Copies of this chain bind each other. A is one copy, B any other.
Amino acid sequence: MNDTVNIISNHRSIRKFQSEQLTTEQIHTIIGAAQQASTSSYVMAYTVIGITDETVKARLKEVSGQDYVKENGHFFVFCADLNRIYQQATPEEQKAMQESIESTEQFLVSTVDTALVAQNTVIAAESMGLGTCFIGSLRNNINRVNDILELPDYVVPLFGMAVGYPDENPDKKPRLPIDAVYHENKYNTDYQFQRELIDNFNEELKTYYQTRSNNTRTDTWSEQMVRKYKIANRMDVTPFIKSKNLNKR
């Protein structure tokens, strides 16, 4: 296993950081590398917003509820952005572009573009001895994040990311067995086989939860998923995205 595969394989989310801040040079190295990610038809339909203003950090922390949104070495917000492209056009051309920009296809394209850059950010940062944590909980109040960051139409904040020097060393969290997530030639609908795989995984996870250093618990993955999805959360994300004129058609 080479060094890079090792870095990818050893990923843990870090939720406690030393106070040392990233330098501008580090941020530019990370984002500059991340930008080289593939992009659908060269659209580069994302904007990353780096948060250095403590007041802004505090506001975002309030939305997320997580201390590490404020206490970190740097904080990024990753936005799907089709506004930049829209701004390239004359008012007449803009009219003609609306049907495409406002489609689900283009919301999907910009979301994937943004996520590819974000994962490059994670791997680049980790290779430099930094830790990272995705902050999906910015979507707890996505309208508020929109206001805090003064986002124009056609821009949606997808998630945040805390980065910094780790001040904890969490255990590596198990993942589903490869046969559960990797199928061959078609989707494997042998649910009896899948059930056995996941039963084994649930057992492995129980052991992990009972033996990990912090925050021991006893539930299985299947239980967690059913409990989580029985409650429909963040249903305001749907009208919010439409209010930004994306995912509308």
Interface residues, chain A, with chain B CB atoms under 8 Å away: 1-5, 7-11, 13, 27-38, 40-44, 46-53, 56, 79, 84-89, 93, 96-97, 99-101, 103-106, 108-109, 111-112, 115-116, 118-120, 122-124, 127-128, 132-134, 136, 139, 148-152, 155, 158-159, 172-173, 175-176, 178, 180-187, 189, 191, 194-195, 198, 221-222, 224-226, 228-235, 237-238, 241, 247, 249
Contact = CB atoms under 8 A, between A and B. Distances in A.
Contact of A88 (B42, B128, B184, B222): B222
B38 A187 contact: no
Nearest to A89: B226
Contacts of A56: 185-186
A62 to B, nearest CB: 16
Nearest to A247: B104
A28 B247 contact: no
Given A1-B29, A103-B235, A229-B101, A8 B175 contact: no
B229 A49 contact: no
Contacts of A96: 229-230
A149 B50 CA distance: 40
A46 B115 CA distance: 14
A52 B186 CA distance: 10
A180 B84 contact: yes
Contacts of A84: 180, 194, 198
Contact of A112 (B30, B87, B111, B155): B111
Given A49-B182, A100-B230, 11 more contacts: A35-B176, A37-B122, A41-B136, A44-B175, A99-B235, A100-B231, A104-B247, A111-B111, A112-B158, A116-B122, A119-B120
